[in-house]
Amino acid sequence: MKLTPEQEEEIAAERGASRPTRRATVPALEEILYEVMPVLDHGFVRVVDYMGDDGAIVQAARVSYGRGTRRVSEDRGLINYLMRHRHTTPFEMCEIKYHVKLPIFVARQWIRHRTANVNEYSARYSILDNEFYIPAPENLAAQASVNRQGRGDVLEGEAARHVLDLLRDDAERAYAGYAELLNEDETGAPRDPSWPGLARELARMNLSLNFYTQWYWKTDLHNLLHFLSLRADPHAQYEIRAYAEAMLDTVRRWVPLAHAAFLEYRMNAALISASGLVVVHRMLAGETVDQAASGLSPREWRELMAMLGRSE
């Protein structure tokens, strides 16, 4: 991920500023504000604004006139209680805004989360850069044979080289075609003066889904945590998970109490089905239960045993 000198200067200017405010601030998040956190080969996430802190959650839950916070231990207890009992609205009182650069196929998964505000770089108005995603060799996986959605073993040797070459060649050709369709030089003048160039809104269709786009994405903490619970999950596609993990780290800096509650009661918690619960009751009563006797399907049995730490 490379920024132009102009972009680096703009970011440095933002980071250099210090203004007085009466609002709640979070020094640990201010520390990385505006900074680029690289993700994948050319992408990034950076926090560009935020509103509220752990105290804002407490404040809203208590509908108080002032900060509403008491001792840290009481605030932690309240936040844990809210998370455990799905009282989600106080978490909506915190808001965060990211600037993200990401491949288009990742953007297409991401945008399915509707409760957020988005402004994407427009290829109707502007010209996209020649930057596309090529997986690192360790992320170049074969199709999974058991799970139709997932990845299988990592490709190696000749096969891997072939795949990478193909992806790179096709992306380069796609961009060359795009540039030819636009027919513009750096000044915006036609490269080939014999024709005017294709409209940008049409030319863009020649680009492939691994080209990078960027957007401003803003959401509240509750919806962010919901997004992260799905996208930082091992079942999520690696490429979006890489973004989710970087963002999860910004949550830790921003609202440490809510972050801890989220790990404890959501991210690392287990949802056990009604029938699975019966199996647990029987096992705790000392009974030996196997899949056949459990009433669960083989797949559900496997999932339950994994949750209970019993790989079989």
Site for its own copies in 158-197 (CB under 8 A): 158-159, 163, 166-167, 170-171, 173-174, 177, 180-182, 194-197
Looking at 48-56, 242-250, 251-259, which segment touches its own copies (CB under 8 A)? 48-56
The answer for residues whose C-beta is within 8 angstroms of residue 155's C-beta and 6 or more apart is 140, 141, 142, 163
306 binds its own copies (CB under 8 A): no
Q: Which is nearer to its own copies, 185 or 264 (CB)?
A: 264
Side-chain half-sphere CA neighbours of 183 within 13 A: 11
232 binds its own copies (CB under 8 A): no
In the residue annotation, 266 being an active-site residue is answered as: no
**C-beta of 248: minimal distance to its own copies in Å?**
15
Q: Which is nearer to its own copies, 163 or 249 (CB)?
A: 163
Name the phi and psi angles at 201, rounded to 5: -65, -20
CA angle 84, 61, 76 (to 5 degrees): 55
Judged by CB under 8 A, the chain residues 110 through 169 that form the site for its own copies are: 111-112, 114-115, 117-122, 124-125, 133, 135, 140-144, 148-153, 155, 158-159, 163, 166-167
d(C-alpha 243, C-alpha 231), whole Å: 8
d(C-alpha 106, C-alpha 210), whole Å: 8
72 binds its own copies (CB under 8 A): no
220 binds its own copies (CB under 8 A): yes
309 binds its own copies (CB under 8 A): yes
Closest CA to 150 of 210, 240, 230, 236: 236
Contact 36, 44 (CB under 8 A): yes
Q: Which of 74, 264, 287, 306 binds its own copies (CB under 8 A)?
A: 264
90 binds its own copies (CB under 8 A): yes
**C-beta of 180: minimal distance to its own copies in Å?**
6
Say which residue the tokens 């056949």 belong to: 292
Q: Which of 28, 49, 72, 185 binds its own copies (CB under 8 A)?
A: 49
Distance of CA 305 to the CA centre of its chain: 29
Enumerate the β-bridge partners of residue 216.
99, 119
Q: Which is nearer to its own copies, 155 or 247 (CB)?
A: 155
3-state secondary structure of 275: helix
Among 231, 252, 282, 310, the active-site one is 231
Q: Which is nearer to its own copies, 72 or 142 (CB)?
A: 142
d(C-alpha 268, C-alpha 248), whole Å: 13
Closest CA to 91 of 101, 81, 99: 81
277 binds its own copies (CB under 8 A): yes
Q: Which is nearer to its own copies, 141 or 249 (CB)?
A: 141
How big is the site for its own copies, counted in residues (CB under 8 A)? 137
**C-beta of 147: minimal distance to its own copies in Å?**
10
Side-chain half-sphere CA neighbours of 181 within 13 A: 18
By annotation, the residues acting in catalysis are 231
